[in-house]
Structure 1
Amino acid sequence: MRDDVNKIIKLISQKTYNNVTIGESEEIVEYFQDDNVIKFPYRIYYIDNSDEFIDSFNEQQKMIVHCIYSRSCDGFVRQKHMNSLLLMDYKDWPIPYIVKICDEYVLEILEMIYEILKDQDTERIKKFCLQNNVSFCKSYNRMISYWNEYYRFKYNNFHQYIGRKLFRDCFGYSKSMERRKNRSL
């Protein structure tokens, strides 16, 4: 996979949105998966030029591209690549990217992801969330915070809010996870 990542990185445009002087945020997202640590930048600012090369890639390379751009500062780019990733027969390693994007504030992305995942077997995602219980509960609380700030008046019943449904139905969130998190701190 390292060779694939290096190949893709060479093709990513070094131009950034609004001429931002950095390509990646300093904030790093970190998860554990099996015996591996998965780290990626919270945001990237590179302009999406993947349409220039993605058709020539194999499935794994396409997954890598979609994961990279799921961290874009442009919500439309995040949504486009997450949608493409979710419609693939994705492996386990992209799951952290799927979970992370769901603690953000773009309602249309949450709706899209829920629509795709609600009828699928999400046991692999639930296993990942349990393995990363502390981070996952933090993501759940972050999702609530965005609901409270941006969507509370439109969706005044939190139990009907799509973010809550996504975390509970597809990711397996439960109150017992919070209790387990508190015991491990």
Structure 2
Amino acid sequence: MANMNADELALIETFPTTLRHEAETLILRQPYGSRLPVRQGETVVSDGQAIRLISRQYVVFHPTGNEVRQLMAHCLNTRHHDGHVRERHFKRLLAAGQPEFVLPFTAQLLGEYVLPIQFDVAVFFQHNAAALARFFADNPLYWQKQKDRIRSYWHCYHSRRYPDWQSYPVRLLAEKIDKEIARIVFRRPPTTNLV
């Protein structure tokens, strides 16, 4: 990781160690000339290892190279300071069967105030319910913080459009995620018929 500044290292560390070489390649091959600051966020567990999230970054990563690096670029762009950039790149990640490293970026978007992006998280959840629920089950304090953010942003920005908290679509999505978490966490292995 030669010739990398602290912000570039922070971007790399948002991915699991097995993908850090891919992340380094992606970042070093970007055409931007100036290095703009990255704001780091919380630490979560993803695929069994701790990673440090980034809350915001200020460049658009070009999705070039192999499929993994393209997905990584879209993930990093979901942390862009411009909501339109976040939304456009997240739409590229909505398909079923997304790799584990996409989950923390999706989880972050659920705790934001931009409704169209949160509705896209609902689409992601339809296609990747067990994976996203497992991520939140592995990070219960982070999940609680995201639910608190959902309620806070509803109160600040969306309660006029959705005056009833109980029918607020993002709250209903959080409820579905909670049910999926419960299904995964409390699932008992099937019992064999002993007759």
Q: Distance in 1 between matches of 2:172 and 2:33?
A: 37
Question: What letter matches 1:172 in structure 2?
Answer: D
Q: Distance in 1 between matches of 2:50 and 2:97?
A: 22
User: TM-score, structure 1 length as denominator?
Assistant: 0.78
How far residue 49 of structure 1 moved from its aligned partner, in angstroms, is: 5.1
CA contact (8 A) 1:28 1:41 kept: yes
Partner residue of 1:157? 164
SS state of the match for residue 23, structure 2? helix
Is residue 111 from structure 1 mapped to residue 119 from structure 2 by the alignment?
yes
User: Structure with the greater relative contact order (CA < 8 A, sep ≥ 6): 1 or 2?
Assistant: 1
- The alignment of Structure 1 onto Structure 2 pairs a total of residues equal to 163
Q: Distance in 2 between matches of 1:149 and 1:64?
A: 32
How far residue 121 of structure 1 moved from its aligned partner, in angstroms, is: 4.7
For structure 2, the residue ranges without an aligned partner over 5 or more in a row are 1-18, 183-195
Question: What letter matches 2:152 in structure 1?
Answer: S
CA contact (8 A) 1:102 1:143 kept: yes
Moved more, 87-96 or 134-143: 87-96
Partner residue of 1:7? 25
Q: Distance in 2 between matches of 1:42 and 1:142?
A: 14
CA contact (8 A) 1:14 1:23 kept: no
Root-mean-square deviation over aligned CA pairs: 2.3
- Counting only pairs closer than 5 Å after superposition, residues 26-65 of structure 1 correspond to structure 2 as 27-46=40-59, 48=60, 50=62, 54=63, 56-65=64-73
Partner residue of 1:98? 106
For structure 1, the residue ranges without an aligned partner over 5 or more in a row are 177-185
**Equivalent residue for 2:38, pick from 20, 24, 29:** 24
Judged with a 3 Å threshold, the aligned counterparts in structure 2 of structure 1 residues 87 and 35 are, in CA distance, closer, same or farther, namely closer
Of structures 1 and 2, the larger Rg is shown by 2
How far residue 159 of structure 1 moved from its aligned partner, in angstroms, is: 2.0
**Identity fraction in percent:** 22
Q: Distance in 1 between matches of 2:66 and 2:104?
A: 21
Partner residue of 1:80? 88
Q: Distance in 2 between matches of 1:77 and 1:96?
A: 18
